Structure 1
Amino acid sequence: MPHDAPSPDNARTAWSVLEPVHLPVYFAPEARARYAAIGLEHRAMNYFASRSAAMGAVGPGTVAAAFYNFNPEAVRSVLPHAWSLAAPETVLAARNDVADQALRRILGEEAVGSEPIKEAAELARKAALAAADLPHGRPLFAGHAGLEWPGEPHMVLWHAATLLREFRGDGHTAALIDAGVTPMDALVSHAATGAVKFSFLRKSRGWSEEDMEAGVRGAVERGLVTTDEAGTLCLTDAGRTLRSHLEERTDVLSAEPYSAIGGRGCERLAELLKPFLEALKAEGLRPGPGTKR
């Protein structure tokens, strides 16, 4: 095991370069056609079913709890119906196909088998395997950790990215709960950072305008956000402190698996993937579902 212990900053750096590798499975053009081929009818069904299938044919309550800030009614609108259209193992096979096809297209056939991708895949795999020894209290991660590893380098990289982002996501949920942040407070305060549009968060999480307006009023009452003269959400000092604490705590809770590759391994992973990030980000894929903010 490397002697240079990874820092929380190393964990964030690794996440920032691995997350774009994972995202095509939800938002790439290949996703809709492939999921439709197995009977999944629309994007919400694709998302909830494909992300939760690693846990088996679980019910909507389990999925809503694991995904944290999605409207439980939105989950109930597609689960368990999705499992009557496609069993979890069928959904998982389709998801792997989407990842394979999308990454081959985005990165190019030459790149997916290149030495940098192979080296990055091996580094990410080492960290993901270390994470697999730490499943406690991380149900969504644990479901994915029980899946078989693929064989090709770009798919090893994708699977490792998936494991590490779900490990981080479960940790983020723990940080939210520990800080007493409700699902709606998480969404509203995230929107108030300006990083993601309020309208995107509302629609992607399945909340109505009335629900979100009530959420804003609650966050205002708790002193987390305010609105300016134009009606734009803004974080208060307390809100900024809370968001900073959540991000820092999430980084801390995400760092341990990277002990397998050390701080220098995290830096090397970022170095290896940097040339590919432009192509991945050029897809315009949204980082919304799954971040649990």
Structure 2
Amino acid sequence: MPDPDRLPRRTVEPALARIAWRAAEPIHGMIYFAPEARDRYAALGLRDRMGYFASRAAAFGPVGAETVVATFFNFNPALVRAAIPAAWRAATPADILRARLEAADAALRRACGPDLLASPETAEAAVLAREAAEAAQRHPAGRSLFAATSALPWPSEPHLVLWHAQTLLREFRGDGHVAALLLSGCSGIEALVLHAATGAVPAEVLRRTRGWSTAEWDATVGRLRARGLLEAGDRLALTEAGRKQRQWVEDRTDLLALPAYEVLGPSGCARFAELAGTVSRAVIDAGLLDPVRAKDRRK
């Protein structure tokens, strides 16, 4: 283990970096729910889950399913294999990436309106986000999905710079999170079950959206109970050992994400969280993280 006294001195605490990431995450996350994206993927011939897997993996080029299985981590491999490589026969990665960026543009314009979109605050948020993302680009080792995404060209308009930068920051953090989960001894489905046991997201939502059967889920619950990470009984709940393992993973994920945010310093992180939070609230208020509301409120 590294000697803590010999590690570089932190300029930003992990908790502050996490706050900055969370404040901006809806700006990126909406692309998985917005009807603007769904419609454009459908126009390319992408059906069912193809749009999600292909749009996020397109930065790799037309890779096989196993690359996506490995980098997306907690999805049932059968779900991935049903979408990849069939998606590449429907549309090229370049066309899919173009559709994704167009969808982000249209969705953010709808959510933010012209005043917020063209505001100095949004432009400032974009500058700070890009600075953090470019700092992350100096640390690509072991972060395959981030590295592939970081090779894509930067858009020019501030709201799209903000979206692209947050996409990079999300993949940077996500690749680090996968590394921490692997070190903790968790498989993809085990990570989902432990996440569900925190109560943050309903177990059925995680099971269904990641394509796992009830039998596979229940078997995983049994294994985690046998390892002492879940309480016995009908309720899905972490034991003290389970809580410690989850915290260990989250702490390592925060540490691995720090290289992106240290360049901003504490005041820059706080300012970014404030500015990005305004755009995120507009995204949430427009229903872009809720596919039913997003569809109903589309003009």
TM over 0.5: yes
Q: 4+ residue runs of structure 1 moved beyond 4 angstroms?
A: none
The secondary structure found in structure 1 opposite 2:12 is coil
After superposition, the CA RMSD in angstroms is 1.6
Shift of 1:264: 1.1
CA–CA separation in structure 1 for the residues paired with 2:165 and 2:276: 14
CA–CA separation in structure 2 for the residues paired with 1:115 and 1:233: 46
- Report if the CA contact (8 A) 1:225-1:239 is conserved: yes
CA–CA separation in structure 1 for the residues paired with 2:252 and 2:101: 31
CA–CA separation in structure 2 for the residues paired with 1:110 and 1:54: 32
Name 2:174's counterpart in structure 1: 169
Q: Which moved more, 1:126-135 or 1:10-19?
A: 10-19
Deviations 1:153-200 (CA, angstroms, capped at 9, x unpaired): 000000000000100000000101111112121010000000001111
Residues 1:252 and 2:255 are matched in the alignment? yes
Shift of 1:5: 1.3
Q: What 5-or-longer segments of structure 2 have no aligned partner?
A: 1-8, 291-299
Q: For 1:125-274, what aligned pairs fall within 5 Å after superposition?
A: 125-228=130-233, 231-274=234-277
What residue identity is the alignment partner of 2:244?
T
The secondary structure found in structure 1 opposite 2:254 is helix
CA–CA separation in structure 2 for the residues paired with 1:274 and 1:92: 26
Shift of 1:4: 7.9
CA–CA separation in structure 2 for the residues paired with 1:140 and 1:176: 16
CA–CA separation in structure 2 for the residues paired with 1:111 and 1:187: 36
Name 1:285's counterpart in structure 2: 289
CA–CA separation in structure 1 for the residues paired with 2:219 and 2:179: 24
Shift of 1:261: 1.3
Identity of aligned residues (%): 51
Q: For 1:113-124, what aligned pairs fall within 5 Å after superposition?
A: 113-124=118-129
Alignment partner of 2:44 out of 31, 38, 45:
38
The secondary structure found in structure 2 opposite 1:226 is coil
- Report if the CA contact (8 A) 1:53-1:92 is conserved: yes
Shift of 1:232: 2.4
Shift of 1:281: 2.3
Name 2:12's counterpart in structure 1: 6
Task: Number of aligned residue pairs: give it.
Answer: 282
CA–CA separation in structure 2 for the residues paired with 1:73 and 1:111: 42
CA–CA separation in structure 2 for the residues paired with 1:284 and 1:54: 23
The secondary structure found in structure 2 opposite 1:260 is coil
TM-score normalized with structure 2 length: 0.91
Residues 1:82 and 2:87 are matched in the alignment? yes
What residue identity is the alignment partner of 1:62?
T
CA–CA separation in structure 2 for the residues paired with 1:146 and 1:139: 11
- Report if the CA contact (8 A) 1:35-1:91 is conserved: yes
Name 2:4's counterpart in structure 1: none
- Report if the CA contact (8 A) 2:122-2:279 is conserved: no
Shift of 1:127: 0.6
Deviations 1:192-235 (CA, angstroms, capped at 9, x unpaired): 0000011111111111111111111111111111254xx22011
Name 1:290's counterpart in structure 2: none
Cα gap change, 1:211 to 1:261, in 2 (>3 Å): same
Name 2:99's counterpart in structure 1: 94
Name 2:70's counterpart in structure 1: 65
CA–CA separation in structure 2 for the residues paired with 1:238 and 1:58: 38
The secondary structure found in structure 1 opposite 2:262 is helix
